[in-house]
Amino acid sequence: MIKNFDEVLERVKINGIKKVAVAAAQDETVLEAIRDARKRGIADAVLVGESARIEEAAKKIDMNLKEFEIIHEPDAARASLTAVELVSTGKADMVMKGLVDTSTFLRAVLNKEKGLRTGRILSHVAVFDVPALQRIILITDAAMNIAPDLMTKKQIIENAVNVAKAIGIEMPKVAAVAAVEVVNPDMQPTLDAAALSKMNDRGQIKGCLVDGPLAIDNALSEEAARHKGIESPVAGKADIILVPNIETGNAMYKTLTYTSGAKNGGILAGAAAPVILTSRADSHESKLYSMALASLVAEAN
Ligand X SMILES: CCCC(=O)SCCNC(=O)CCNC(=O)[C@H](O)C(C)(C)COP(=O)(O)OP(=O)(O)OC[C@H]1O[C@@H](n2cnc3c(N)ncnc32)[C@H](O)[C@@H]1OP(=O)(O)O
Minimum CB separation of residue 127 from ligand X in Å reads 12
Q: How far is CA 89 from the centre of its chain?
A: 23
Distance CA 9, CA 286 (A): 12
The b/e string for 120-158 (b: 16+ C-beta within 10 A; e otherwise) is: ebbbbbbbbbbeeeebbbbbbbbbbbeebeeeebbbbbb
How many residues belong to the site for ligand X (CB under 6 A)?
18
Given the rule CB under 6 A, which of 60-68, 85-93, 98-106, 194-202 is the region that contacts ligand X? 98-106
Q: What is the per-residue binding string for ligand X in 43-82, x denoting contact by CB under 6 A? A: ----------------------------------------
Choice from 31, 106, 214, 297 touching ligand X (CB under 6 A) = 106
Work out whether 200 is an interface residue with ligand X (CB under 6 A).
no
Q: Give the list of residues 6+ apart from residue 64 with CB closer than 8 angstroms, or none.
A: 58
Strands 123-130 and 263-269: antiparallel
Given the rule CB under 6 A, which of 14-22, 35-43, 103-111, 286-294 is the region that contacts ligand X? 103-111
48 vs 143 by CB, closer to ligand X: 143
Minimum CB separation of residue 236 from ligand X in Å reads 25
* 214: enclosing H helix or E strand: strand 209-214
Choice from 5, 68, 128, 253 touching ligand X (CB under 6 A) = 253
Choice from 29, 80, 279, 290 touching ligand X (CB under 6 A) = 279
Minimum CB separation of residue 185 from ligand X in Å reads 27
107 vs 135 by CB, closer to ligand X: 107
Of residues 123-182, those binding ligand X (CB under 6 A): 123, 142-146
17 vs 110 by CB, closer to ligand X: 110
Minimum CB separation of residue 297 from ligand X in Å reads 17
> What is the gyration radius of the CA atoms in the chain, in angstroms?
19
Do residues 28 and 22 lie in contact, with contact meaning Cβ atoms separated by under 8 Å?
no
Minimum CB separation of residue 209 from ligand X in Å reads 24
Sheet of 94-97, strands arranged across: 69-72, 43-49, 18-23, 94-97, 275-276, 263-269, 123-130, 135-140, 240-242, 173-177, 209-214
Choice from 52, 59, 103, 223 touching ligand X (CB under 6 A) = 103
Distance CA 114, CA 83 (A): 10
The b/e string for 227-253 (b: 16+ C-beta within 10 A; e otherwise) is: eeebebebbbbbbbbbbbebebbbebb
Contacts to ligand X by CB under 6 A: 102-103, 106-107, 110, 121-123, 142-146, 250, 253, 266, 278-279
